[in-house]
């Protein structure tokens, strides 16, 4: 059932929980409705931009969303109307004040595990293209400059390359294992991961400065936080080798784009691969005046699509709706961005063990055991 601002009508509250999908980028919600039905949950798609109107009308237990700026005032409204669980399709909750949400007892669930290898594969493809100098070699050929390649455009052999990886979560580990298999030397930075991850990759645990100075190729696989905001800017690019490149498939604001453009124009570094950007509000893509359209830049750009692949969209949908159902039944989520907010919620095993046969049937039918 598709509901929008023009045609949505008040509906009677059913016995089960209500999950509102707020401005989904996909209008077909058959998967969500199928799983919701098994869990005795009503699933509503609301394209209305006014979330307060939606909450007032439908009184949802959970709001499922993709990328939305959610203000403190909106969080206050959710708390006043007993909306205690927000579920995101995918990762990235930097547009929500998580500390304030936790203070209000609002849990923000996320979906981090549906496509780590797919994202890594995309980053690796960009990285290998930059090492092999594909952007500049293609430009030489199509500009009819002949078949000769000067020293500036000679590719770097991955077996002789030093690869820096910032963030050794699932995505970073897959990237690291791939380049380890190719024979690259691995440098890595992640103050929060298990130290065994460095050992698995035979990686040298390194500072940001050291990675900038020594790497031929740098991958960003880290979340956007106050500490990582614009972690690559003018000073970092100046420390990098002139032959080095950087790949970002994580969050756009990890890189100061104006400083990156300056570094590319002035050949401070060789190139960049970007799947994410500082400003992604323009749904038409890169503007006509964007410097990323300049023909002399060694840059590969893609439309925030690293996660996409055969099967990954459905995997993301299934993981997100199952997370929303767990939230609707006041269970501890599999993953969330603010775990301090659910300290009083029962864990899944105790809910199943101590719950009624109705609870067990819901978990079995909707796939919550997965």
Is 251 a known active-site residue?
A: yes
Catalytic residue of the set 122, 133, 221, 251: 251
Distance between CA 358 and CA 39 in Å, rounded? 10
User: What confidence score (pLDDT) does residue 7 get?
Assistant: 36
User: What confidence score (pLDDT) does residue 48 get?
Assistant: 84
Distance between CA 98 and CA 226 in Å, rounded? 12
Contact 239, 233 (CB under 8 A): no
Catalytic residue of the set 53, 138, 235, 280: 280
Domains 2-114+311-366 and 116-301 share a fold: yes
Is 326 a known active-site residue?
A: no
The domain made up of 116-301 has a fold known as Rossmann fold (3.40.50)
Catalytic residue of the set 304, 308, 334, 360: 304
Domain boundary assignment for the chain: 2-114+311-366, 116-301
Per-residue b/e over 171-188, b at no fewer than 16 CB within 10 Å?
bbbbbbebbbeeebbbbb
User: What confidence score (pLDDT) does residue 351 get?
Assistant: 46
User: What confidence score (pLDDT) does residue 343 get?
Assistant: 64
Per DSSP, the residues of 150-178 read: -GGGPPPPGGG-EEEEE--SHHHHHHHHH
Contact 281, 308 (CB under 8 A): no
User: What confidence score (pLDDT) does residue 366 get?
Assistant: 55
Residues 6+ apart with CB under 8 A from 204: 185, 186, 187, 188, 198
Contact 316, 88 (CB under 8 A): no
Torsion of CA 361, 364, 367, 368, to 10 degrees: 80
Q: Is 140 helix (H, G, I), strand (E, B) or coil?
A: helix
Is 88 a known active-site residue?
A: no
Contact 338, 101 (CB under 8 A): yes
Per DSSP, the residues of 170-219 read: HHHHHHHHHHHHHT-EEEEE-SSS-THHHHHHTPEE--HHHHHHH-SEEE
User: What confidence score (pLDDT) does residue 322 get?
Assistant: 92
Query: Per-residue confidence of the chain (370 residues) as pLDDT tens digits?
Result: 444 444 343 344 457 899 999 987 777 899 999 999 999 999 999 988 899 999 999 999 999 998 678 899 999 999 999 999 999 988 777 788 989 999 998 999 988 778 889 999 999 999 999 999 999 988 888 876 667 777 677 899 999 999 999 999 999 999 999 999 999 999 999 999 999 999 999 999 999 999 999 999 999 999 888 899 999 999 999 999 999 999 999 999 999 999 999 999 999 999 999 999 998 866 556 777 888 888 789 999 999 999 888 888 888 899 999 999 988 888 777 788 888 876 655 554 554 454 455 555 655 555 554 5
CATH top class, domain 2-114+311-366: alpha beta
User: What confidence score (pLDDT) does residue 356 get?
Assistant: 52
């Amino acid at each position: 059932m598709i509901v929008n601002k023009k045609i949505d009508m008040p509906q009677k509250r059913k016995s089960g929980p209500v999950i509102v999908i707020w401005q989904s980028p996909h209008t077909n919600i058959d998967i969500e409705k199928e799983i919701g039905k098994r869990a005795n949950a009503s699933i509503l798609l609301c394209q209305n931009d006014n979330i307060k109107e939606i909450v007032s009308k439908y009184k949802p237990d959970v709001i499922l969303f993709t990328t939305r700026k959610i203000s403190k005032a909106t969080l206050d409204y959710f708390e006043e109307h007993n909306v205690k669980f927000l579920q995101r399709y995918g990762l990235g909750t930097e547009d929500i004040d998580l500390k304030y949400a936790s203070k209000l007892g609002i849990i923000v669930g996320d979906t981090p595990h549906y496509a780590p290898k797919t994202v890594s594969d995309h980053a690796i493809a960009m990285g290998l293209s930059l090492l092999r100098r594909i952007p500049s070699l293609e430009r030489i050929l199509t500009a009819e400059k002949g078949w000769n390649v000067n020293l500036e455009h000679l590719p770097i052999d991955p077996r002789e390359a030093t690869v820096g990886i910032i963030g050794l979560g699932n995505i970073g580990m897959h990237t690291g294992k791939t380049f380890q298999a190719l024979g690259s030397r691995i440098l890595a930075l992640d103050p929060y991961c298990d130290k065994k991850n460095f050992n698995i990759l035979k990686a040298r645990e390194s500072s940001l400065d050291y990675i900038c100075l020594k790497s031929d190729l740098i991958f960003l696989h880290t979340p956007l936080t106050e500490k990582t905001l614009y972690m690559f800017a003018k000073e970092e690019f100046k420390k990098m080798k002139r032959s080095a490149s950087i790949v970002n498939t994580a969050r756009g604001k990890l890189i100061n784009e104006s400083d990156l453009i300056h570094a590319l124009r002035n050949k401070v570094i060789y190139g960049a691969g970007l799947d994410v950007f500082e400003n992604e509000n323009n749904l038409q893509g890169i503007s006509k005046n964007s410097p990323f359209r300049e023909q002399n830049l060694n840059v590969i750009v893609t439309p925030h699509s690293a996660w996409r692949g055969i099967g990954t969209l459905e995997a993301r949908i299934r993981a997100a709706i199952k997370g929303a159902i767990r939230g609707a039944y006041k269970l501890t989520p599999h993953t969330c961005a603010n775990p301090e907010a659910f300290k009083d919620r029962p864990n899944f095993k105790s809910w199943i063990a101590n719950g009624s046969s109705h609870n067990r049937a819901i978990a079995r039918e909707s796939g919550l055991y997965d």
